[in-house]
Amino acid sequence: MAKPKLKEHLINRDWCKGCGICVELCPKNVLELDNENKAVAARPVDCICCKMCELRCPDLAIEVITEDDK
């Protein structure tokens, strides 16, 4: 299987509570909390599309969309 290619991180700012779980546990340090304490993809080029941020988010606030996703 080819390596998944990132399209975008969909972050629901109304649902994100800024807990930092996705930021602190991302293996590639892709994410950050902005000045409103919401997650943002600061370094998307480093993303390996492991989707751990999406699977771990307690608020269902982040989705990793790859080229393979419809």
**Residues lying near ligand SF4 in the complex (CB under 6 A):** 11, 16-22, 26-28, 30-31, 39, 47-53, 57, 59, 61-62, 64
Nearest in space to 59 (alpha carbons), one of 18, 5, 8: 18
CB 39 within 8 A of CB 32: yes
Minimal distance in Å, beta carbon 47 to ligand SF4? 3
CB of 33 to other proteins, least distance (A): 11
- HSE-up (13 A, CA, CB side) for residue 17: 6
Q: Which stretch binds other proteins (CB under 8 A): 2-10, 27-35, 38-46, 48-56?
A: 48-56
CB neighbour list of residue 65: distance below 8 Å, 6 or more residues apart: 6, 7, 8, 9, 10
- Which residues sit at the interface with other proteins, rule CB under 8 A? 14-15, 17-21, 23-25, 52, 55-61
